[in-house]
Amino acid sequence: MIPSDFYRGRRLRSSLTMREMVRENTVTANDLIMPYFVVETDDDSFKKEISSMPGQYQLSLKQLKKQVGDAVDNGLRACILFGIPAEKDELGSGAYDDKGIVQKAIRLLKDSFPDLMVIADTCLCEYTSHGHCGMVKNEYVQNDPTLNLLAKAAVAQAKAGADMVAPSDMMDGRVAAIRAALDDAGFTNTPIMSYAIKYASAFYGPFREAAESAPQFGDRKTYQMDPPNSREGLREAAADFEEGADILMVKPGLPYLDLVRQVRDAFDTPVATYQVSGEYSMIKAAAQNGWIDEMGVVMESLVAFKRAGADLILTYFTEDVLKALK
């Protein structure tokens, strides 16, 4: 005799319509932020595929406008920009030059797509000749002198029309310095999405090719976080929150879902996470080998971010997901 008093969870999984009706977490276009790499070049036709990130490109301004336009037609709501300047120097001056490549890209996109949320990554590593995220002295990244340069970069980005700035450098005190500089320049309404918990991760490998930002010596372990630490991450997030961050980000994504949940539980701010280049490339490689269903894995990973508590997801799969959702 089969007992009749046990839980029958399958009742709510009996059909696609039923499963969709009771679904606890969903991914929409409002959740997604697409990263783009824009190159300072006179070749308007420049579009170079990133070898370690199939389907992702370094783009000229003209090609950026075209690709973003196609994505907007499919429902793109937000993007984040990374710049590759024609020349680099020790102080990363292209990051805060009013005519710098990201500033040009911001103006172009805001003029072309006024409703698109254009976010600027605020860092120096793509612009410095040594590849580090700040000023260097005796092969050591200097914290406090770097803050002024980051603040200048954020103001330049806001002047160009950026809807939001996103400091990714991991210098202590950079959110406070940027907030003060933005306010002093009249950009009190420009929000800051801080890379609050950013680990010194092996998952960033393909990004170094994409942004041409590999350090020329040493590594970034003295300023990016040590992967085994989680309590330290909450201290970093608390510091950024107290300094004025409007959105707190955890980076990378899937390997650090525990931190996403801890930040969600500890703070009332919106929480973002970044599905980084290594995560993207691993999924792509497995899919190209026929080992996994690419879109199935992508959607499952994005739902995992939502389930962990993320409100916003930066992912290189954004354009593909928008097409699938559409």
| Catalytic site positions | 198, 251
Per-position DSSP letters for 244-256, written without gaps between them: T-SEEEEESSGGG
In whole angstroms, give the CA distance from residue 108 to residue 116: 11
Give backbone dihedrals phi and psi of 119, rounded to 5 degrees, phi first. -105, 140
* Inter-axis angle of helices 174-184 and 143-160, nearest 10: 40
In whole angstroms, give the CA distance from residue 118 to residue 107: 10
Q: How far is CA 108 from CA 45, 61, 263, in A?
A: 16, 8, 35
Long-range CB pairs of 136-142 (<8 Å, 24+ gap) are 136/90, 139/217, 139/218, 140/222, 141/171, 141/222, 141/223
